[in-house]
Structure 1
């Protein structure tokens, strides 16, 4: 028994050491939350505090019960990070395509599409966060794409969309609608912008987006495989250990009746009956 306790404590200590190390690394490499987002011309697109307020708006509406951000949440509605990023990329590519070729991006020759996509990738992945001012500086075309996306999301959340399980009138306040768009923009910015001195985004190139070369990193693929192998190996080792042990002996005297039937319930156990009835009633009312 002592050996089991030693093994148990070692697993706990090692597990929390790894969790602590990973948490510290995440804290060190987390994407900055800017004070504001401005264009190169100096126009303020997102005012100080709007990103945090937008997160509060999303949480107040249900948060992870209403779509997901960075892959965390429910899948009734889209992942707002991926949705914003793809819409922004498509809007910019179509604007450039219409301006330079008079056609939609999808109608261009492959070499023209490749040239525009390379330009888009360079613009989107460049880290323009200014630590001195706490601002993100973006091109005017990204600001125009922001306004287009903001209009789209204002319609989705104010008029509703059954495919996303969003009812009509879910959010009507124009200030909160814009703050919500500011939050979605920031999650998309972090997902497509390279970390300082690196070639991967703050979210390790998640979500997948071909238009800005957001692809799984080699490290992610390797460690995903390693983690699965270790998980299966650990399960196999436990099964092998259990199978290699001698069968546990049965008790010398087997009772004629189940001992649990004669259990005397304590007052605290009886008190929980009211709780379970109350919870069941609330669930039925919600349904």
Structure 2
């Protein structure tokens, strides 16, 4: 009987330690979460999105079963892409094309390798720069990046809105047509 009592103490201690660690890291997830900006604006001051719009979009995404389709920062299902990575990839691709067309009249993938390398270096600097102002809660982006964001948002409106040209992609992602039937949502 004495051996069992010791095992119960070991089990209790192990559970207490495990839940203490889980509680600590659970708190840290929320404490270190990236801030949701009050607004995202272009350098000209045009408001691209507000905190309310971001939170509304998050709610719509959750109402469609978002994490059952794809993931955010690697958390969720893997039938569809990681939406944050997909957005960044599409925005980066659009930005490369915007810059390339402005410089040469050619799309990025039509340019010589040296020109592509220069544009990729510029892209890396653009995407890695922290443009968040913690005092005002504002992210300020370049005019070109605002244009790339608009193109990316249009893709997602079409994807979630039921655009027939994206039906094959929706099928690949195991999404229903018109997952968000009302664009005003």
On whether the aligned pair clears a TM of 0.5, the verdict is yes
Cα distance, 1:169–1:23 mapped onto 2, change above 3 Å: closer
Q: 2:151 is paired with a residue of what secondary structure?
A: helix
Partner of 1:140 in structure 2?
A: 143
Cα distance in 2 between the residues matched to 1:125 and 1:165 = 32
Over aligned residues, Cα RMSD in angstroms? 1.7
Cα distance in 2 between the residues matched to 1:174 and 1:139 = 26
Query: Of 125, 133, 138, which aligns to 2:128?
Result: 125
| TM-score, scaled relative to structure 1 | 0.58
Partner of 2:176 in structure 1?
A: 167
Partner of 2:35 in structure 1?
A: 32
| Structure 1: 4+ residue segments shifted above 3 A | none
Cα distance in 2 between the residues matched to 1:169 and 1:13 = 47
Partner of 2:61 in structure 1?
A: 58
Higher-Rg member (1/2): 1
Higher relative contact order (CA 8 A, sep 6+): 2
Cα distance in 2 between the residues matched to 1:166 and 1:17 = 39
Q: Describe the superposition over 1:14-33 as per-residue Cα deviations: whole angstroms up to 9, x where unpaired.
A: 21222233233323321001
1:21 is the counterpart of 2:24: yes
Unaligned runs of 5+ in 1: 177-287
Q: 1:38 is paired with a residue of what secondary structure?
A: strand
Indicate if the aligned counterparts of 2:39 and 2:49 stay in contact, CA closer than 8 A.
Answer: yes
Cα distance in 2 between the residues matched to 1:22 and 1:170 = 34
Indicate if the aligned counterparts of 2:99 and 2:144 stay in contact, CA closer than 8 A.
Answer: no
| TM-score, scaled relative to structure 2 | 0.87
Cα distance, 1:48–1:82 mapped onto 2, change above 3 Å: closer
Displacement of 1:68 after TM fit? 1.6
Q: 1:49 is paired with a residue of what secondary structure?
A: helix
Counting matched residue pairs gives 176
Cα distance in 1 between the residues matched to 2:99 and 2:178 = 35
Q: Describe the superposition over 1:105-150 as per-residue Cα deviations: whole angstroms up to 9, x where unpaired.
A: 2233333222111111111111111122111111111111111111
Q: 1:165 is paired with a residue of what secondary structure?
A: coil
Partner of 2:80 in structure 1?
A: 77
